[in-house]
Amino acid sequence: MEPILEIRNLGKNFGAVEILKDINVSAEPGGFLVLVGPSGCGKSTLLNCIAGLEPISGGTIHIGGRDVTHVSPKDRNIAMVFQSYALYPTMSVAGNITFGMKVRGVDKAVRARKLQEVARQLQIEQLLDRRPSQLSGGQRQRVAMGRALVRDPQLFLFDEPLSNLDAKLRVEMRLEIKKLHSDLGATMVYVTHDQIEAMTLATRIVVLKDGVVQQVGSPAEIYNRPTNLFVADFMGSPAMNLIPARASRHGNGTRIEIERAGGPPIVLIDGRIDGLPGDVVVGLRPEDIAEAGFRAGDGVQEAECLIDMVEPAGADTFVVSLIGGKQVTARLHAETEARPGSTLALAFDLGKVSYFAPDTGERLN
Amino acid sequence: MTDPARGLPAAPRAGQAALRWLLFAILGLFALFYLMPLFVMIATSLKSLEEIRAGSLVALPARVTFEAWGTAWSSACTGIQCEGLRPYFWNSVSLSVPAVAISTLLGAVNGYVIAQWRFRGANLIFSLMLFGCFIPFQVVLLPMARTLGFMGLTGSISGLVFVHVIYGIGFTTLFFRNYYVTIPVELVKAAKVDGAGFFRIFWSVFMPLSLPILMVTVIWQFTQIWNDFLFGVSFSQAGTQPVTVALNNIVNSTTGVKEYNVDMAAAIIAALPTLFVYAVAGKYFIRGLTAGSVKG
């Protein structure tokens, strides 16, 4: 199927500064594409470029198979939801939602019908006469979405729409956006710095750093097989443990040796990989380190570790141990007997381990 | 026994109340001091000449007469003509209204562009316009006279409108720019995506937001233009002079007996429109100067 959005070799400069470098991204019909990265990575600029609100310095943008590189925002068949909602303060909710149709000369009867449809869909029927200043944050968010929905565009753009909401409301609205996406079957591009939002919403994630695409893939791919140290560190909470280690040949596999202060090194044997360089960074998610006896399988190996810290988080308990000079976090079950200062046998599950080159940061397996 | 939860003891409260009253007393005194000249003007304008000569300056009129007001309005002499302030008053109206409207509108569009449609050199242009606010009137008199001559507007009301519009743009742009710069740029972006163009966004989104700053600008411009004397006296001729020039002529060109009551009445008449504008729109003036940010 032809992609709804296709960006080829897009570049963007502000004066001499390169904000975006050679971006190649596409979104399939009905896809939910999330642009994620730390602040200043260029994700919002990229979204503004897609919308046509920022001119681009090179490359092309196609929406629905049509080259819109030099087309103005109003003719791109898009709708956008902004971080600050950007509701027109002097217009009522109804006025806000229908303004776009009014500008485009849509018939009054059609406007009223579409307004009712969208208001019902978003459950804001009782708010239509209010001004934006009389609404709560969540209600404003809904109106901003209504303004986008009523246009029925080919492509929806969301610029960090949930970042101004409190934590509880954010989770609710996140679910609602996800439901909306599946109900409408619409194609959406969504910018966020919150990697949990990215994981939960996306069908496809684009991780950006310093204006360069680091990795494009499904949430599972990004989570399980991060392409470099940056992605490994950025995606996932708590973050992936990235432990410096020495690797050497061991039969058909590899012997991984992790130094630690005040004790013998931890030695792990990975039978499924060989040919690693001498210095590697071992990437293990906290959930891949469990209490010994609670995890079994091919790649599981145990070692006694000194526990520095214990953080009960309700469903799980996180313990931190200093390994390879790093604070390594393990995700244990809630009833663990682990106590700070005592030793505990931890099971390292190499089933989903990632190896990175310490100098380039690139993935090795 | 006093209940310890029941607030403060009595002494500091009494002290605070005393301070409060002292403050009111001082403020009241200042207010009286500032109102005194107005009182003298009004009282004098309502007296007959004989009473002025006989009585004290601050005394209330023994017999109230509006004769001086009538004279000032329609028959006082401004040099050789004796038609009172009336024709000049209407000159001022017909020059102030278009000058205020045009300069305010241009300032609004300028401020909108500079604050919301950033372009290369926008800051430089804004700085230059700001600089225009600080050029003294006297400096531009001669170049402006040449310009008006070149444009064929010498001595006409249109010429005065032109001068006031040019001179006012700096201020009106400053007001609107500072107001619009507090409005998030996302509003323009949203309207662009909604399909609105430059002027549509201006009229439908920004103008409805602008009432407070519009009032500030109108009051400011009206006061400046109505009260202007220098441009009025320099660029007008007989028949197009504004009320301020006529007032000067009434007060300064009388021969023989000085008609203080007529002078006072004329001065009040000349000042009434600005007082009126402030009374009508004054509440927005304070609001517009202090507010600005738009909580959407």
Q: Are residues B118 and B189 in the same domain?
A: yes
Q: Are residues B38 and B90 in the same domain?
A: no
Q: Are residues B61 and B90 in the same domain?
A: no
From A355's Cα to the closest Cα of chain B, the distance in A is 43
Whole-angstrom distance, CA of residue A178 vs CA of residue A190: 11
From the candidates B193, B207, B294, which should be mutated to test the interface with A, based on the most A CB atoms within 10 A? Answer: B193
Which amino acid, A218?
A: S
B182–A contact, CB cutoff 8 A = no
Domain count, chain B: 2
In a domain, B73, yes or no: no
- The pLDDT tens digits for A218-274 are 999 999 999 999 999 999 889 999 999 999 988 888 999 999 877 889 999 888 888
In a domain, B53, yes or no: yes
ipTM for the complex shown: 0.85
Taken in order A85, A87, A89, A94, is the CA torsion positive or negative? negative
From the candidates B180, B194, B211, which should be mutated to test the interface with A, based on the most A CB atoms within 10 A? Answer: B194
In a domain, B77, yes or no: no
Whole-angstrom distance, CA of residue A365 vs CA of residue A351: 12
In a domain, B79, yes or no: no
All domains of chain A, ordered by start, with CATH? Answer: 5-234 (3.40.50.300), 241-356 (2.40.50.140)
Q: Are residues B166 and B250 in the same domain?
A: yes
Helix (H, G, I), strand (E, B) or coil at A222: helix
- What residues of chain A lie within 8 A of the CB of B205, using their CB? 88, 90
Whole-angstrom distance, CA of residue B179 vs CA of residue B181: 6
Residue in B with minimal Cα distance to A136: B296
> What is the per-residue pLDDT for B3?
47
Q: Are residues B132 and B94 in the same domain?
A: yes
By residue range, what is the domain housing residue B193? 86-290
Query: What DSSP line would sit under A85-121, residue for residue?
Result: ----TTS-HHHHHHHHHHHTT--HHHHHHHHHHHHHH
Of B184, B200, B204, the CB nearest to A86: B184
Q: Are residues B91 and B193 in the same domain?
A: yes
In a domain, B253, yes or no: yes
State which H helix or E strand residue A242 sits in. Answer: strand A241-250
B121–A contact, CB cutoff 8 A = no
- What residues of chain B lie within 8 A of the CB of A74, using their CB? 192-196
- The pLDDT tens digits for A276-327 are 898 999 999 999 999 988 888 878 888 889 999 999 998 999 999 999 889 9
Query: What DSSP line would sit under chain B, residue for residue?
Result: ---TTS---HHHHHHHHHHHHHHHHHHHHHHHHHHHHHHHHHHHHTS-HHHHHHS-TTSPPSS---HHHHHHHHT--BTTB---SHHHHHHHHHHHHHHHHHHHHHHHHHHHHHHHS--TTHHHHHHHHHHHHTS-HHHHHHHHHHHHHHHT-TBSHHHHHHHHHHHHHHHHHHHHHHHHTTS-THHHHHHHHTT--HHHHIIIIIGGG-HHHHHHHHHHHHHHHHH--HHHHHSB-TTT--HHHHHHHHHHS--SS--HHHHHHHHHHHHHHHHHHHHHHHHHHHHHHH------
Q: Are residues B108 and B248 in the same domain?
A: yes
A132–B contact, CB cutoff 8 A = yes
| Strands of the sheet with A212-217, listed across from one edge | A78-81, A155-159, A187-192, A32-36, A204-209, A212-217
CA-nearest of A138, A205, A216 to A177 is A138
Q: What CATH number is given to the structural domain containing B211? A: 1.10.3720.10
Q: How many residues does chain A have?
A: 365
> What is the per-residue pLDDT for A51?
95
Query: What DSSP line would sit under B70-99, residue for residue?
Result: HHHHHT--BTTB---SHHHHHHHHHHHHHH
In a domain, B81, yes or no: no
Q: Are residues B179 and B261 in the same domain?
A: yes
Whole-angstrom distance, CA of residue B107 vs CA of residue B109: 6
- The pLDDT tens digits for A184-214 are 999 999 999 999 999 999 999 999 999 999 9
Whole-angstrom distance, CA of residue B216 vs CA of residue B111: 14
In a domain, B2, yes or no: no
Of A53, A74, A88, the CB nearest to B187: A88
What CA–CA distances, in Å, run from B154 to B95, B102, B238? Answer: 14, 20, 12
Q: Are residues B51 and B180 in the same domain?
A: no
Q: Are residues B126 and B243 in the same domain?
A: yes
Q: Are residues B174 and B50 in the same domain?
A: no
In a domain, B228, yes or no: yes
Residue-wise pLDDT tens for chain B (296 aa)?
Answer: 444 445 445 556 788 899 999 999 999 999 999 999 999 999 999 998 888 888 787 888 888 889 999 999 988 888 778 888 999 999 999 999 999 999 999 999 999 999 998 888 888 999 998 888 888 888 989 999 999 999 999 889 999 999 999 999 999 999 999 999 988 889 999 999 999 999 999 999 999 989 888 988 999 999 999 999 999 999 998 889 999 999 998 888 766 778 889 999 999 999 999 989 888 887 777 766 555 434 43
> What is the per-residue pLDDT for B294?
41
Whole-angstrom distance, CA of residue B101 vs CA of residue A107: 35
Q: Are residues B123 and B257 in the same domain?
A: yes
CA-nearest of A140, A59, A152, A156 to A101 is A152
Helix (H, G, I), strand (E, B) or coil at A42: coil
